[in-house]
Amino acid sequence: MQYHLDTIPLWEVMQGHCQCPFCALQSQSERQEVQCALGEKVMEPASRIRFNELGICAKHHCQLLEQNNRLGHALLTDSHCRELLPKLDHLSGLVQKGRKGISLPWSGSGSSPMDTLLKQLEQCTVSCVICDSVNTHMDRYFHTFLHLWKTDVHFKTLWEASQGACMPHTIELLRKAKKSLHGSRQQELASSALALLKASMTREEEELAFFTQQFDYRNHGRPWGDSKNALERTVKRLRGGFDQETYTEGQNEA
């Protein structure tokens, strides 16, 4: 696959000293895609066909609901339902007795008809047009990261001084590195990514432990330091995908 190297957003998040550059880029991409879904893409025939076919996952439906454009959201969801209903009608036919030719063989050997039915039902719920677009953006960002890490000494220095990435994005980075870097370069990046992950998680764990100790009456009045949002930061380190705005709200409460 040919990628357009989009370096500016990557430099910006790296220079912003964020907790995970890929989480920051993912949040940006998700916000753009969610806004576009209810904006210009609502009326684009090609986009509507993709929406109808793939649907939208629960997480991104929640983000669409937050946009307060109920009409646009309802139009998208309505046309997806219209696409889905004939598929459900077809599946209903498969489980009805007496419909010759299409009924699944519920008795006898061979693969379970329930498995066939479940597989087809699951296919109606596993895809998301927004996830799909965000994944395409993220593939490009990972590719750009590896290109800059390989070719630009300033970028590499910035990475070495950073907090590394969250666990899921560290895994994804190394998965991509396996495909595009040679052996010794793979080892170099794996060593650096794991060292940064370990250092960041060690610091966050200490701050989280400090946070829990603040609830001990013996520590009453002790300054919270950086510990108030240690829980949000540790969750983000462990599982990634924490929305930047939610994270900022956590900081504001602190």
Query: CB-wise, 10 or 128, nearer to Zn ion?
Result: 128
Query: CB-wise, 57 or 84, nearer to Zn ion?
Result: 57
Query: CB-wise, 166 or 196, nearer to Zn ion?
Result: 166
Compute the distance between CA of residue 224 and CA of residue 231 in angstroms, rounded to an integer.
Answer: 13
Query: CB-wise, 91 or 167, nearer to Zn ion?
Result: 167
Near Zn ion in 21-40, by CB under 5 A: 22-23
Query: CB-wise, 22 or 211, nearer to Zn ion?
Result: 22
**How big is the site for Zn ion, counted in residues (CB under 5 A)?**
11
Minimum CB separation of residue 128 from Zn ion in Å reads 3
Minimum CB separation of residue 132 from Zn ion in Å reads 8
Compute the distance between CA of residue 254 and CA of residue 240 in angstroms, rounded to an integer.
Answer: 20
Near Zn ion in 150-179, by CB under 5 A: 166, 169
Near Zn ion in 89-148, by CB under 5 A: 128, 130-131
Near Zn ion in 214-243, by CB under 5 A: 240
- Binding span for Zn ion by CB under 5 A among 57-65, 70-78, 93-101, 185-193: 57-65
Query: CB-wise, 135 or 212, nearer to Zn ion?
Result: 135
Our finding on whether 76 is near Zn ion (CB under 5 A) is no
Residues in contact with Zn ion by CB under 5 A are 20, 22-23, 57, 60, 128, 130-131, 166, 169, 240
